[in-house]
Structures are given as structure tokens and as C-alpha cells.
Structure 1
């Protein structure tokens, strides 16, 4: 497998320092694995980030202290602590807090890729975080240990390529109808009506809903809304792999108003977009853009 070239991003200021090393997965994996990002950081100006819903499943392999996760809209008093974990698809945001230092690797997977790699119904992971060893058992523990002990990011990414190829080769193929429907939704940015998907497949809404719950984790309509929201977020502050680029370089920087961005992303109007932002992000677009951290830092909470 040819090794893609990694991209390194660094930041150092009064709020702390961090370094990310991102790399595409090996060519054989790219249908399901959207990329790797190794990271190390120490922050003093903040310790908590806002994580937003997206059309991807996130797998974190932690090398440092456990992270604290809370869901302000669902269970504000419930706090979970995890080091290496999988976050399924979400329809609301969460807060992730570190003690100020952390290190590890983030893998971004398509929902179908996660279904194949993990071998579980994806609705069991929806709106939740599950420890990696609960899903992969001894294999997960061994992988975390090997990645921690590897001499550098190059070797860690190669280990991940090998481990994921083995798991995908051993998995049952994804259902062609779900793969087709998901691909059409992604290509349309979440604009395609569910009825049109059903017509294209010659199936009922009930059938597609059942398949999506099993292999994606949410209903087709919810997945479409999340994809539309994700595109709007990209236009406010574009996320390239694991790096956030200042909003001035994207949609707002092209002189587009919030209303124009809403229409570009398939919303009826700005009010429609604002409602989705409040549900999915707990903030308006302008409030969210104001929390953007520099140099791939994510969103402060």
C-alpha cells in the first residue's frame, strides 16, 4: 500500500499549543476511511471544545488522560469519561473536556465503514460514546498498545492501514441499497428527498429506514439534515480533514450573507438554517463562528 504524504499543522499562542499530523488512509480504504489525524496539545486558555454532528463516525485512540463528555441538550448532569472510544452519529452537539493536555489519533469513518469495521448495528452507537475495547475486545486493546508504542506518526498510520484492511476484508459487504442511498445523499449535500431515494431503489420508506438504522445509525431524513448542516458549517469555517480554516477563507469570505449561505446549502431561508443550528450546535451560525479556534483547534466551548 502506498503511503500518502502527511500534513502537519502547528499552533502556539497565549491559549496554548497543539500539533496535528493528518494523513489520508491507504487507497484500498478510502471508500470507508476518510482520514487519520494524530494530535498532541497543551491548552491554558480553554479546556473544553464543542463537538458538532456530522455525517461521519469518529474513532479516538487516546494516549493521554481520559476525556470528559457531556450532552447539554440530552443529559446535562450525566458525565462520561473515556480514553479510546467510538462516537456514533449524533443529532445534537456535545462538550468534550480535557485536563489541559492530550494526545492520540482520530479516525474519521463513513457510517458504513464503521459498521463493517466494528461489526455492530450502528443504531447502538447513535448519540453516544462507547469504549473501543467494548467493541473490539482484546484486538482493540492490542491495537491501542501498539499505536502508543510505535516510534512515530508514520508507523502509527501504517499500523492503522493494516489493521483496518484486515477487518474490512473479514467483514460482510455492505448492503448495496444502503451504500447507493448514502452516496446519493452525500453527493446532494443532504438535499435529495427520501421519496426519491425509495423510488430509485424500488423500496418502501419502512425498508430504507430499517436498513439505515442498522448500517448508518439514523433515519435517512435525519442523515440528510445532518449532511446539510455539515455543509453549512463548512461554509462558516471550513473543516479540511481535521483542520478548521478561518471562515473568512470560505463562504462568508466570498461576500455571501447568512441568507445566501442558507440557500446555497438547501435551506428554505436563514430562519430555517438557524433552527437547525440551534438544534445541532446549540448556537446560531454567528455565535458558532465566533468560537472557531486557529490552526486546526476546533471550536471552543
Structure 2
């Protein structure tokens, strides 16, 4: 596989609470390329063109998408795979649930552990946007089109219930460190009501969201350590520098085994195996 282009775009300042960045890419895969995609309490929006993708959840293949170029996926509470072959290009947006709820126009409970092609949505605005991006030849122009389209969509949609917004920000701000009972008390809701509303609008229960947010922090920590600048004598994987127990403690896990269980569920592998795959295949 050859990554021909990777271009990062920053949205306008007013849009950054909703979209942190745009990732433009163009890649060539002469042979079938299979990637494991980690779970997360976020939504992935791909606006693509060229070679199509298959997105498969091994637990429920029927909830995947086959032969798609543009799609919305997640949130996922387990890993999935993507497979492609040929020359593909597009823009990837990683969205918080509250931003995705407004941009996609559906309660995220309808997208949990699912990948849905954009041409299957009743509102065709995202599919049309993908076509417009494909017709452009400059990434700067594509990112400007995204800014305009996202701003227009946000102006036309109402914010999600502010109490859900507050609950999400508390969970995200503590990387899942706040308990569900404490969160419900802060909102003045029962735990059951919080769970029902969260599943409907955010896509997963608050306890699951907390686990995913803690895992995302650990995954980002491990990945950052793996790609950090080499030190004299060579970089040392986290498993050999203080041990995985130290990584677990830093990221809010009870112990090393707890960290490893979450990695197995959310990535399909262990942190040590992930470190090994990075060190043996730095590309």
C-alpha cells in the first residue's frame, strides 16, 4: 500500500468545537488492504471517491457496508475492519456524538455499531457534498467547501438537549472518570433516564461511553509513545519502559489486565501486539 497524499485541514475557528480537523488522503492499494479499526465513542464520516471500501463488524456483518465510497460509521463498542483495493481518495472527519447528531440528522442510537452509505440517508446533503469534493482538484478548496457546508448545516439544526451536552462534556473531560450515579445526580435525572437518553442520542450507554473514552486515552497514549521521536540508541516501546502497568495507571485503569482486556475488546489485539506491529511495520 502506498499513501500518496495526506493533507490535514483545520476548520474555521467557530467550527472547531464540532470538527477538530479534516484529513484528506489519497492511497494506492495494489492488493486487498485490510485494516483493523479500533472502537470509539465517536462517529467517522468518510466523504470519498475512487476505490470503494467494505466496512465489516465481525460480530454482525449485516450491519456493515459493502462497496461504499462515502459513509457514516459508529459509534462502535468493538473493533471492525475496512477492506479496499485500488486507488481511493477522500476526506475523513472524526466527529463527537453531539456534532454528528446535528450533521447526520439522526439519533446516534440508529447508527451504533453500524456503517451506512450516505446515499441511504433520506437527506442527500452529505452525498451531494461528497460529489462536490470529488469534483475539486485542490485540497484547500475542498476544505473551504467543508467549512461552508458544515456551518450551513449547524445553522439549520437545533443543539441537542443541553443536559446531554453537559453529560458528554463531563465524561469526555474526565476520560470516563466520573461515575454514572454522580453524573445522573449532577443532571437531576435518574440513572435509568440518563441511560435511556444517552443510548438514544449518543449511541451507547454512559457507562460504555466512559469505558470507550478511557480506552481512547490509553490508545492515544500508546500510539503517541510508539511514534515519538527516536532517542539515542533507539525508541523503547511502552511495554519495556515502565511496563504496561504504568500505562494502565496513567490512563485510569485498575491494573494491567484491565487495560489488556479493553484493548482486546476494542482493537482485537493487545497493547504489546500493537507495539510489535508498529515496530515491525513503521509505515
Normalised TM-score (structure 2): 0.90
Choose the corresponding residue for 1:163, options 149, 155, 168.
149
Which of 135-144 and 20-29 deviates more? 135-144
Instruction: Work out whether 1:49 is the aligned partner of 2:35.
Output: yes
Q: How far apart, CA to CA, are the structure 2 residues paired with 1:98 and 1:170?
A: 35
Aligned counterpart, 2:100: 114
In structure 2, what is the equivalent of residue 218 of structure 1?
204
**1:62 counterpart (40, 48, 54):** 48
Q: 1:250 to 1:18 in 2, by over 3 A?
A: farther
Q: Which has the higher helix share?
A: 2
Equivalent runs, 1:1-301 vs 2, <5 Å: 15-44=1-30, 47-75=33-61, 80-135=66-121, 137-238=123-224, 245=227, 252=238, 255-292=241-278, 294=282
Q: 2: distance between equivalents of 1:238 and 1:68? A: 28
Separation of aligned partners in 2, 1:229 and 1:107: 20
Structure 1 runs of 4+ aligned residues shifted over 3 Å read 43-46, 73-79, 244-251, 292-295
- The 8 Å contact of residues 34 and 110 in structure 1, kept in 2 or not, is answered as no
SS at match of 1:137: coil
Task: Report how many aligned residue pairs link the two structures.
Answer: 277
Distance, in Å, in 1 between the alignment partners of 2:46 and 2:236 is 28
- The 1:74/1:274 distance shift into structure 2, 3 A limit, reads farther
C-alpha distance 125-46 of structure 1, shift in aligned 2 (>3 A): same
Check 1:57–1:198 CA distance in 2 against 1; reply closer, same or farther (3 A cut).
same
CA RMSD of aligned residues (A): 2.5
| Distance 1:78-1:210 versus aligned 2 partners, 3 A rule | closer
The residue that corresponds to 1:10 in the other structure is: none
Deviations 1:103-145 (CA, angstroms, capped at 9, x unpaired):
1110111100010111111110000101112225332332112
For residues 250 and 148 of structure 2, the distance between their equivalents in structure 1, rounded to whole angstroms, comes to 40
Q: Do 1:274 and 1:284's aligned partners in 2 also have CA atoms closer than 8 Å?
A: yes
TM-score (norm: length of structure 1)? 0.84
Contact 1:63 1:102 in 2 (8 A): yes
Q: Could you list the per-position Cα deviations for residues 176-215 of structure 1 after superposition, in whole angstroms to 9, with x for gaps in the alignment?
A: 1111111111111111111111111111111111221222
CA distance in 1, matches of 2:49, 2:32: 20
1:18 offset after TM fit, Å? Answer: 3.2
Gaps of 5+ in 2: none
Label 1:24 to 1:254 Cα distance change in 2 as closer, same or farther (>3 A). Answer: farther
* 1:16 Cα offset (Å): 2.8
- Going from structure 1 to structure 2, the CA distance change for 1:45 and 1:254 (only over 3 Å counts) comes to farther
